[in-house]
């Protein structure tokens, strides 16, 4: 026979998490219904994108520049994510770690300059 009592704390944790998440979702809606603050108007129910109403078909393709800016953001965001652990462990890695990071940063700077010269950061 399998002893399932070891899973009881996990089940209790999941139950509490489910109860809290349900309360955080449905309690504000119930309170707004009871207090009368639930007042949907046409302005509140209208669609919006980035602060202005949609003016094109939602299935239209995005411009390639949008994807290029998104990829550049991810690259430089990952670079920042790599810098923090490197800075913390620099005393352990020593000069080889420092030189490796400088090569990495140099490659990123070359890529950034290339993207800048090609006009990837210009938004028309």
In this structure, the answer to whether residues 62 and 21 fall within a common structural domain is no
pTM score of the predicted model: 0.47
- Residue 12 placed within a domain: yes
92 pLDDT tier (thresholds 50, 70, 90): very high
Structural domain boundaries enclosing 18 = 1-38
- Residue 110 placed within a domain: yes
- Residue 44 placed within a domain: no
φ, ψ of residue 94 in degrees (nearest 5): 70, -150
- Residue 25 placed within a domain: yes
Q: pLDDT, tens digit, for every residue of 17-44?
A: 999 999 999 998 888 888 877 777 777 7
Q: Are 79 and 107 in contact (CB under 8 A)?
A: no
Report the distance separating Cα 36 and Cα 97, nearest Å: 61
CATH code at position 80: 1.20.58.1610
């Amino acid at each position: 026979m399998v002893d399932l009592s070891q899973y009881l704390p996990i089940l209790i944790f999941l139950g509490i998490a489910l109860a809290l998440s349900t309360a955080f979702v449905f309690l504000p809606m119930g309170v707004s219904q009871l207090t009368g603050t639930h007042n949907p108007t046409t302005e509140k129910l209208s669609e919006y994108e980035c602060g202005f109403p949609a003016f094109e078909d939602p299935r239209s393709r995005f411009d390639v520049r949008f994807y290029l800016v998104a990829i550049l953001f991810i690259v430089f965001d990952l670079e920042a994510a790599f810098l923090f652990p490197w800075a913390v462990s620099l005393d352990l890695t020593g000069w080889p770690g420092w030189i490796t990071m400088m090569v990495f940063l140099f490659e990123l700077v070359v890529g950034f300059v290339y993207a800048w010269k090609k006009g990837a950061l210009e938004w028309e």
